[in-house]
Amino acid sequence: MARRHPVVIDLTGSDDEGPYPKREQARISTATAIPTGFNLKPATDELKLAIRSANIGRLQGSVLSLCDKIPGATQLLSQMLLVPPARAPTAPIVVNALHGNKRRLVPRWATCINCELEFDVSDNDDDTACEYHRGHIDVDWSSGTWADWDEDCHGPMDTEENQDEYPDGFKWTCCDTTKGSMYCGYDRATGEEFERDGCRVGRHQTGAEGSKKRRIY
Ligand SMILES: [Zn+2]
Ligand SMILES: [Zn+2]
């Protein structure tokens, strides 16, 4: 019987190089080859719906259990979710009981501490990617919105519902602008102006950047 070669599956759906240099990619692709005879079956519509409706904790538990049960799952997930530290200089240091705090591979995806969006730590060179405020939303007592507002009749002013319904009645404590105001930003690299949602702009941050200064316009 002819020998069948292992099948390499690209779960990223992308043709680009990915987070690893080509030589590293080739090494990982070999390591993550699905064993011959593995019954590959795309997710059914029912399973897709179940995945999208499950909460994050249940999905994390399901993925972790796959690492214990499916050959190659750990390597595949590592390829998708980890990057070499050289490509993610600001990624959080993961302290490993066995290896001290040497950084081997680090998480590729992180949540920005400023804008709270997920970002790719190996592709975080854009100085205008993160738009955010340093302060918080507070009631603007000088706003005409509250001229005839009686909390005994109308209820409390500072509620999320009121923030949505009466944005002019609230302002950011960091810049005194109304909630939802757009700022005009200036990109020093290209010389172009752009509209941004936040009085501050910079790169996304993980919180592990230490005292490095961010460029703020
Ligand atoms: Zn602000
Ligand atoms: Zn951000």
In-domain check, residue 11: yes
Question: What is the Å distance from ligand 2's center to 56 Cα?
Answer: 21
In a domain, 117, yes or no: no
Judge whether residue 210 has pLDDT over 70. Answer: no
Distance 75 CA to ligand 1 centre (A): 43
Asked whether 34 and 6 are in contact (CB, 8 A), the reply is yes
Residue 186 lies in a domain: yes
62-100 in b/e form (b: 16+ CB < 10 A) is eeeeeeeeeebbebbbbbeebbbbebbebbeeeeeeeee
**Digit-coded pLDDT (tens) for 10-50:** 444 444 444 444 554 554 454 445 555 556 788 999 999 99
- Distance from the CA of 126 to the center of ligand 1, in angstroms? 20
- Closest ligand to Cα 181: 1
150 plus 77 within the same structural domain: no
**Alpha-carbon distance 79 to 10, whole Å?**
10
Give residue 177's domain range: 130-202
CA angle 207, 208, 209 (to 5 degrees): 95
**Does residue 209 surpass a pLDDT of 60?**
yes
pLDDT band at 184; cut points 50, 70, 90 = low
Q: How far is the CA of 81 from the centre of ligand 1 (A)?
A: 33
**How many C-beta neighbours within 10 Å does residue 154 have?**
11
- Taking Cα atoms as reference points, which of 191, 147, 185, 192 lies closest to residue 166? 147
H or E element that contains 33: none
Q: Which residues surround ligand 2, an ion (CB under 5 A)?
A: 112, 114-115, 130, 204
Instruction: Report the pLDDT value the prediction gives residue 45, as an integer from 0 to 100.
Output: 95
For residue 201, what pLDDT is reported?
A: 86
Q: How far is the CA of 91 from the centre of ligand 2 (A)?
A: 14
Contact yes or no for 217/198 (Cβ under 8 A): no
* Total tally of structural domains belonging to the chain: 2
Question: Comparing 54 with 197, which gets the higher pLDDT?
Answer: 54
Dist CA 63 CA 72 (whole Å): 13
Neighbours of ion ligand 1 (CB under 5 A): 133, 172, 174-175, 199
**In the listed set 28, 60, 83, which residue is the last one of a domain according to the structure?**
83
Distance CA 28, CA 211 (A): 35
ipTM of the complex: 0.96
